[in-house]
Amino acid sequence: MNHHVLQIVVGIILSLMISGCATVYRSPGSELLKPSEMAVINKSSIHSDIVITTLNGKRRGPLDIIERCELSPGEHSITVALHKDGYTGGEITRWFQAQAGQEYVINAVIDTVAMKWGIAIVDKNLGQRVDYEKPIDTQVSP
């Protein structure tokens, strides 16, 4: 096989592997749960510029391509960045109590006047915001 053709084939295979295999993150323990026993958090399709950078205080692989996180019930932290021209704020961390069987979505909250942004974690079924902040001295990594 021609060396150039081999490079193209390998590139296509790697692209398919990355796009198909790395879109779901499963927290420790969630892989054993039935769908009704786990919580799911998705990035907003409206705000595709949101990038998940950290879950529960730890960077976990190529999180910038994760679209869905399957989590065990309980408290979780999620840190995101916004990659959109003109907006400041670095990374933002919020906590929420994941409930079994619930689905959550991360929405960007954008202040176009101040050119700042934040996030809201919303219970998709109830339409209610569920995230909260913690003072720095109470932030404990599991």
pLDDT at 96 over 90: yes
What are the tens digits of pLDDT across the range 118-142? 889 999 999 999 999 987 665 555 5
Q: What is the pLDDT of residues 14-64, one digit of tens each?
A: 444 444 444 777 778 888 888 899 999 887 665 567 778 888 888 765 555
Which tops the pLDDT comparison, 30 or 66? Answer: 30
Q: Are strands 68-71 and 24-26 parallel, antiparallel or unpaired?
A: parallel
Q: What is the pTM of this model?
A: 0.72
Q: Which of 77, 23, 81 minimizes the C-alpha distance to 50?
A: 81
